[in-house]
Amino acid sequence: MKLLISKSFVGAIVLLSIVLILVGCERKSAGTSASAEGGSGSRKKVVGFSQMENNGPWRIAETKSMSDEAAKRGYELVATDAQTQTSKQFSDVEDMVARKVDAIFLAPREFEGLAGALAAAKQAKIPVFLIDREAAGTPGQDYVTFIGSNFIEEGQRAGEWTVKNTNGKAGIIILEGTAGSSVALDRNKGFLDAIKSSPGMKILASQPADFTRASGQKVMENLIQAHGKNITVVYTHNDEMALGAIQALKAAGMNPGKDVKVVSVDGQKSALEAIVAGDMNVTVECNPRFGPIAFDTYEKYLRGEKIPQKIIVPDKFFDSSNAAKFIDKSY
């Protein structure tokens, strides 16, 4: 009798152990699945993307890249459009902080003007990653890191090409991007640094055209009236302004790409097509597809890995020798 009870008791203990092991495996499996969704944790992570505007091919391609990558990795993305207003972008970031998103990707419209929003995110312990443009603050303190191109180097490459292909003598018009933005300041600095040792390179005028095709055309029309045939080079801080300038040059009976060299930055599809058509000479690539590297960086941050203060994305250089080859891969 005692032996029978002992065997039954042991059997019951074994059965209970098997049940507990199976339940534990199911919980472990469920935990693994949740961890894979949206980076880590038991719920889908919510991340914010504060875009400065969506009114041109470059910005649209950037927003799509962020959206596509978020969906691919299982994140919920809260995307906003500041509509070229720094004040609205400030409010957009504050709204994300109030919503308690897990992280914020920020493409700043201007270098200054967002310190308060960054401070609010910091106080809420929400990591901020600057995308494609820098903002005032200290990396590692006010934001995690900056992910983007080397804008000074882009300007330098454009300037070096210009000096070489004009034999160091040119009458130059510069169409600047958004006043006060880090990208406009840096692309200007790089270009001016590259030409400063060539006294024959004369800046006839340098005016903002706000990174848009319409503004580029309008500003260029006014500058043609002021400087006419003295213009032999147009350097623009982005392709949209370059394409507007080309229209103004053609309307004035000037010959862009030949009599007037057109040098730009971005590498969008319409610019590569303009190079193939002979209307533009060169454009330095600034790749807008930040999604993969942005989310890679965030997930490294979640794992506790050390994040560098700047993450620089390498860019190509397009001219008549290779533009046609990359048109199908461009945005």
Same domain (yes/no): 194, 304: no
Q: pLDDT tens-digit profile of 49-80?
A: 999 999 889 999 999 999 999 999 999 999 99
Domain boundary pick from 270, 286, 302: 286
Query: How confident is the model over 103-160, as pLDDT tens digits?
Result: 999 999 999 999 999 999 999 999 999 999 999 999 999 999 999 999 999 999 999 9
Domain that holds residue 74: 46-149+288-314
Backbone φ and ψ of 178, nearest 5°: -55, 125
- Whether 107 is covered by a domain: the verdict is yes
In this model, does residue 232 exceed pLDDT 70? yes
User: How high is the pLDDT of residue 56?
Assistant: 86
The distance from CA 108 to its chain's CA centroid, rounded to whole angstroms, is 10
Residue 1 domain flag:
no
Least trusted range by pLDDT, from 89-93, 131-135, 178-182: 178-182
Check: CB of residue 313 under 8 Å from CB of residue 287.
yes
Residues 92 and 183 in one domain: no
Q: Say if 28 falls within a structural domain.
A: no
- Count of domains forming the chain: 2
**What's this model's pTM, rounded to 2 decimal places?**
0.81
The model's pLDDT over 195-225, given as tens digits with 9 standing for 90+, comes to: 999 999 999 999 999 999 999 999 999 999 9
List, in order, residues 6 or more apart from 92 with CB less than 8 Å away.
50, 80, 82
Whether residues 190 and 304 fall in one domain: no
Give me the CATH number covering residue 176: 3.40.50.2300
CA–CA gap between residue 251 and residue 108 (Å, rounded): 35
Select from 276, 190, 179 the least CA-distant residue to 235: 190
The answer to the question of residue 229 being in a domain is: yes
Q: What is the mean pLDDT of residues 265-289?
A: 97
Query: Where on the phi/psi map is residue 146: left (φ > 0), alpha (ψ -120 to 50), or beta?
Result: beta
Residues 138, 225 within the same domain:
no
